[in-house]
C-alpha cells in the first residue's frame, strides 16, 4: 500500500496503522544499514524503531482528529465549540433538575386532584426561581407525600436551588389551571435542584448547529429561531401568498425572482404571514396564563429581529387537540390490570406528545403499543377519540374541526389539520379502557 493512500483521501482521512508504520521503518533501516541489519525483537535498533513507531502512530491519530474537527458532523468537544463560534451559536447550559415532594391538605376526603405535567412551582421568597413538573401527579387528602421530577425554567446555574428552600405553586398559573378551592398543596425539596452549571452534550449541540439555515430570510431561518425559544414545543410558518398552501388560488401564481413576497406587492407595503406556535405543558402563552416569561412575547421579539422591512408576523397559538382512546384489553390471569393500563397510557402519552404540528395519531401505533405490554393477550374494539379545539378560527389555513368531541370508527386514524397538535393527558376523561381476563 502506497503512502498516498493514507491521510486525506476521497473517502475521508485514512490513518496509517502501527503495523504499517513499523514495516516502513524497518524497510528504511534495511535501506540505510544493509539488508543483513539485525531487526529481531531483541535487538537495540528494533526497540528504538518500535518506540518511535508508537509516537508516529499518535501523530497520525492527532492528524485524524484535527481533520475531522473541521466538520460539524464529526467534531467533538472544544472543536465543536469553535465551529459554533463561527456560526454565532454557543453551547447552552442545561436546565437544573431534581425532585420535589407534594402534600395535599384541607381537601374533601372524597375528592382527588390532578396536577398536570408542566405545573409551575416557584420559590416563596424573591428572587423568584421557577420550576415545572415533568409528569402529572394525583393527590388526595390523607395520602402520603408524592414525589415528582422538576426542571428549572431558566437554563444555567441560576436555576440551581439548595435543599430545603420554601416553594409554592405559582399563584397565577394555579388560579387559571387548577381548582383547589380550600385545599392547599405544600411543596418541599428534600434534595438540591442542580445540574444547571452543566453544558448540553455534543449530540444535542451538533444537531442545533446542523439545523441552522445559512440564509437571513427564509421560512427555515425564521422557524429555526422560533423553535429555539424556551417553551416552544413545535412551530410552523404559513405564508399564504407565496405558494405555501397548495390548496389556495394563489398557488403557482408567484413569480420567483420578479416580486418580493406576493403577487403585485410593492416595496414598502405591509405584508403579513402567520406563525403558529405550540407550547410545552405549563408555559404561559399570554399574561392570562401566568407570569413571564410569556411565549408569545418572546416569539414576537425573536421574529422581529429576522423579518425584512414591512413584513410582519401574526403570532398565533396552535390548536391543542386532546386525544383519548376507548378499548377493551384481554389480559393473562395473574397480571395487575391497573399496572397494565398505566404502562399502556404512559407509552401512548410519550408517543403522542412527540408528534409535530399536523401529525396524526395512527390506530396501528396505539394497537402495537398496547400489545407490546407484558400480559396483554389482545386489544379489542380500539377507537380513537378527540376533543376538538375551541379557538384558532382566525388562522388563515383550512382543515381544522371545531365544536364537539368525536369518536372515530374502529381502525380509523385520527388526522389533524396543519395548525393542530395532539396532546394526550394521563387523566383525560376521554380515556375509557376496560380489562377482560383472558
* Whether residues 43 and 117 fall in one domain: no
* Residue 365 covered by a domain: yes
* Whether residues 312 and 328 fall in one domain: no
Question: Domain range for residue 117?
Answer: 95-188
In this prediction, residue 359 carries a pLDDT of 92
In this prediction, residue 389 carries a pLDDT of 54
* Residue 86 covered by a domain: no
* Whether residues 229 and 305 fall in one domain: yes
* Residue 203 covered by a domain: no
Continuous H helices in 127-184? 171-177
In this prediction, residue 233 carries a pLDDT of 92
Question: Can you tell me the distance from the alpha carbon of 17 to that of 20, in angstroms, rounded to the nearest whole number?
Answer: 5
Q: Which residues contact 392 (CB under 8 A, 6 or more apart)?
A: 316, 317, 318, 319, 400, 419
* Residue 132 covered by a domain: yes
In this prediction, residue 40 carries a pLDDT of 86
The 3-state DSSP class for residue 233 equals strand
Beta bridge partners of 8: 13
Distances in Å between the Cα of 380 and the Cα atoms of 224, 326, 406, 435 are: 42, 9, 19, 10
Last residue of a domain, one of 317, 345, 376: 317
* Residue 140 covered by a domain: yes
* Whether residues 229 and 260 fall in one domain: yes
* First and final C-alpha spacing in the chain: 66
In this prediction, residue 399 carries a pLDDT of 46
pLDDT (tens, 9 = 90+) of the chain, 438 residues, equals 456 688 888 888 888 888 888 888 889 888 988 888 888 888 888 888 888 888 889 999 889 888 989 898 889 999 999 999 988 889 999 999 999 999 998 888 888 888 888 899 999 888 888 999 988 888 888 888 999 999 999 899 989 999 989 999 988 888 888 888 888 899 998 899 999 999 999 999 998 888 777 666 677 788 888 988 989 999 998 876 553 444 445 545 555 555 444 445 455 566 778 899 999 888 888 887 777 678 999 999 888 887 766 678 889 999 888 899 999 999 888 888 888 988 898 889 888 988 999 999 999 999 998 888 888 988 999 999 988 654 444 443 444 444 457 888 888 999 998 889 998 887 778 888 888 886
**Which three cell numbers, joined as nine digits, stand for 214?**
445559512
pTM of the shown model: 0.69
**Which three cell numbers, joined as nine digits, stand for 197?**
452549571
In this prediction, residue 137 carries a pLDDT of 87
In this prediction, residue 246 carries a pLDDT of 42
Return the C-alpha torsion angle 235, 320, 418, 401, nearest 10: -160
* Whether residues 225 and 256 fall in one domain: yes
Question: Can you tell me the distance from the alpha carbon of 396 to that of 81, in angstroms, rounded to the nearest whole number?
Answer: 41
In this prediction, residue 197 carries a pLDDT of 94
Of the CA atoms within 13 Å of residue 65, those in its CB half-sphere come to 11
Return the C-alpha torsion angle 234, 240, 241, 247, nearest 10: 130
Inter-residue contact 68 to 7 (CB < 8 Å): no
* Whether residues 325 and 313 fall in one domain: no
* Residue 117 covered by a domain: yes
Last residue of a domain, one of 293, 317, 341: 317
User: CATH no. for residue 285?
Assistant: 3.30.70
* Whether residues 379 and 433 fall in one domain: yes
Question: Can you tell me the distance from the alpha carbon of 194 to that of 97, in angstroms, rounded to the nearest whole number?
Answer: 6
Continuous H helices in 43-118? 44-68, 77-87
* Whether residues 276 and 348 fall in one domain: no
**Which three cell numbers, joined as nine digits, stand for 397?**
389555513
Question: How many structural domains does the chain have?
Answer: 4
Closest alpha carbon to 342 in 380, 384, 370, 381: 370
* Whether residues 267 and 246 fall in one domain: yes
In this prediction, residue 240 carries a pLDDT of 61
* Whether residues 305 and 386 fall in one domain: no
Last residue of a domain, one of 29, 52, 68: 68
* Whether residues 102 and 147 fall in one domain: yes
Which letter, b or e, does each residue of 142-167 get, where b requires 16 or more Cβ atoms within 10 Å of its Cβ? eeeeeebebbbbbbbeebbbeeeeeb
* Residue 198 covered by a domain: no
**Which three cell numbers, joined as nine digits, stand for 415?**
388526522
In this prediction, residue 126 carries a pLDDT of 85
Question: Can you tell me the distance from the alpha carbon of 280 to that of 97, in angstroms, rounded to the nearest whole number?
Answer: 17
* Whether residues 333 and 425 fall in one domain: yes
Helices (H) and strands (E) in the chain, counts: 9, 18
* Residue 429 covered by a domain: yes
Inter-residue contact 66 to 74 (CB < 8 Å): no
In this prediction, residue 268 carries a pLDDT of 56
Amino acid at each position: 500500500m502506497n503512502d498516498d493512500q493514507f491521510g486525506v483521501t476521497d473517502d475521508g482521512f485514512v490513518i496509517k496503522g502501527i503495523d504499517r508504520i513499523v514495516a516502513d521503518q524497518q524497510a528504511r533501516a534495511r535501506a540505510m544499514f544493509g539488508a543483513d541489519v539485525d531487526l529481531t525483537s531483541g535487538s537495540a535498533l528494533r526497540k528504538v524503531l518500535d518506540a518511535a513507531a508508537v509516537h508516529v502512530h499518535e501523530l497520525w491519530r492527532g492528524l485524524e482528529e484535527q481533520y475531522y474537527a473541521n466538520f460539524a458532523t464529526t467534531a467533538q468537544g472544544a472543536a465543536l465549540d469553535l465551529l459554533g463560534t463561527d456560526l454565532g451559536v454557543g453551547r447552552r447550559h442545561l436546565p437544573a433538575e431534581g425532585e420535589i415532594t407534594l402534600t395535599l391538605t384541607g381537601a374533601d376526603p372524597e375528592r382527588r386532584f390532578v396536577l398536570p405535567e408542566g405545573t409551575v412551582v416557584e420559590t416563596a421568597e424573591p428572587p423568584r426561581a421557577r420550576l415545572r413538573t415533568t409528569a402529572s401527579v394525583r393527590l388526595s387528602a390523607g395520602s402520603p407525600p408524592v414525589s415528582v421530577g422538576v426542571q428549572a425554567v431558566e437554563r444555567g446555574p441560576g436555576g440551581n436551588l439548595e435543599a430545603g428552600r420554601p416553594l409554592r405553586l405559582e399563584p397565577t398559573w394555579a388560579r387559571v389551571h387548577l381548582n383547589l378551592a380550600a385545599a392547599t398543596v405544600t411543596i418541599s425539596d428534600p434534595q438540591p435542584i442542580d445540574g444547571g452549571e452543566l453544558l448540553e452534550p455534543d449530540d444535542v449541540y451538533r444537531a442545533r448547529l446542523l439545523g441552522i439555515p445559512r440564509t437571513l430570510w427564509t421560512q427555515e431561518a425564521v422557524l429555526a429561531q422560533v423553535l429555539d425559544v424556551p417553551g416552544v414545543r413545535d412551530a410552523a410558518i404559513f405564508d399564504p401568498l407565496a405558494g405555501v398552501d397548495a390548496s389556495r388560488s394563489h398557488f403557482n401564481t408567484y413569480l420567483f425572482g420578479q416580486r418580493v413576497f406576493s403577487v403585485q406587492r410593492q416595496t414598502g407595503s405591509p405584508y403579513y404571514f402567520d406563525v403558529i406556535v405550540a407550547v410545552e405543558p405549563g408555559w404561559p402563552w399570554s399574561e392570562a396564563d401566568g407570569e413571564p416569561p410569556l411565549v408569545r412575547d418572546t416569539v414576537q421579539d425573536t421574529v422581529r429581529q429576522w423579518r425584512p422591512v414591512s413584513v410582519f408576523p401574526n403570532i398565533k397559538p396552535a390548536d391543542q387537540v386532546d386525544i383519548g382512546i376507548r378499548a377493551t384489553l384481554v389480559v393473562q390471569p395473574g397480571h395487575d390490570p391497573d399496572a397494565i393500563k398505566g404502562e399502556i397510557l404512559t407509552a401512548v402519552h410519550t408517543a403522542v406528545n412527540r408528534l409535530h404540528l399536523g401529525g396524526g395519531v395512527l390506530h396501528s401505533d396505539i394497537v402495537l403499543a398496547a400489545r407490546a405490554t407484558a400480559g396483554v393477550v389482545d386489544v379489542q374494539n380500539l377507537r380513537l377519540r378527540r376533543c376538538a379545539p375551541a379557538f384558532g378560527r382566525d388562522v388563515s389555513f383550512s382543515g381544522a374541526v371545531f365544536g364537539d368531541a368525536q369518536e372515530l370508527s374502529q381502525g380509523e386514524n385520527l388526522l389533524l389539520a396543519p395548525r393542530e397538535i395532539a396532546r394526550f393527558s394521563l387523566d383525560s376523561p376521554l380515556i375509557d379502557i376496560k380489562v377482560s381476563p383472558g
